[in-house]
Amino acid sequence: MSTAEGNFILSNVDEPDIDFTETGRKLFAGPCDFIWAAVEIEKLPLLGPPEIAFAGRSNVGKSSLVNALTGRKTLARTSHTPGRTQQLNFFALGAESPNEKLRLIDMPGYGYAAVGKQKVAAWNKMMRDYLRGRATLARVFVLVDGRHGLKESDLEMMDLLDTCAVSYQLILTKRDEVRKADQQARIDATLDALKKRPAAFPQVIFTSSETGEDVATLRAAVARLMAERAQGSAGVSKES
């Protein structure tokens, strides 16, 4: 599936049975560095490799999941207090250019009012502008607290992504806090809510950044996405 350097071999990418777990492991096992923080939409980094962004309500576990994916504890700053992440934080996987393979973007949370209306409005605008207009954005992972399921503000985010035709996938978080007996029902209810949403990827992953449960599944989903994109652009260049 992949070489030792983590480069993708593109044959058979369309086969649903291919297991991307090992490719995903290798993709995230390399160096990963914080490269950029943006508080204004005018000051984003130049376009580079594909980007995946982590969005979700405040305190849902976005920064924790970036750390879990990359196997680090303190790459992204986390906190018990909502409103920790206050800018778009860019992390480069595979070190900086020219070896950069993928960027992870840890976003501020939505649905949190205690920082003041003006600041929330500014964050929301920046997030929306980024999500709507970033050419290299491959997928947005919308994180939802697995203990509570979808909230109104999540539906609003999904509306925005559907309207802008930005591909997104739902991740339920804090699986370790949800009784085993209730986990499948939570996944099913979330899948149900996705049915009529055109830009939603029809798979829900239920992760725990505490225990690492299903983090490998998410790595594999990202690896598959990368391989599909690489195959897509190879196809385009072949035709032109």
Q: Contact between 23 and ligand GTP (CB under 6 A)?
A: no
User: In terms of CB distance, is 88 or 194 closer to ligand GTP?
Assistant: 88
Shortest spacing between CB 12 and ligand GTP, in angstroms? 33
Of 51-59, 95-103, 130-138, 214-222, the segment contacting ligand GTP by CB under 6 A is 51-59
Residue 235 DSSP class = H
Shortest spacing between CB 90 and ligand GTP, in angstroms? 15
Q: Contact between 186 and Mg ion (CB under 5 A)?
A: no
Q: Contact between 179 and ligand GTP (CB under 6 A)?
A: no
What distance in Å separates the CA atoms of residue 54 and residue 68, rounded to the nearest whole number? 13
What distance in Å separates the CA atoms of residue 20 and residue 222, rounded to the nearest whole number? 9
Collapsed DSSP state (helix, strand, coil) of residue 40: coil
Out of 23, 59, 89, 169, the residue judged to bind ligand GTP by CB under 6 A? 59
Out of 59, 63, 173, 207, the residue judged to bind Mg ion by CB under 5 A? 63
What residues between 69 and 88 interact with Mg ion by CB under 5 A?
A: 84-85
Phi/psi at 196 (5° precision): -100, 20
User: In terms of CB distance, is 87 or 136 closer to ligand GTP?
Assistant: 87
Amino acid identity, position 31: P
196-211: b or e for each residue (b if 16 or more CB lie within 10 Å)? ebebbbeebbbbbbee
Helices (H), 71-141: 117-133
Using CB under 5 A as the criterion, which residues of the chain lie in contact with Mg ion when the complex forms? 62-63, 84-85
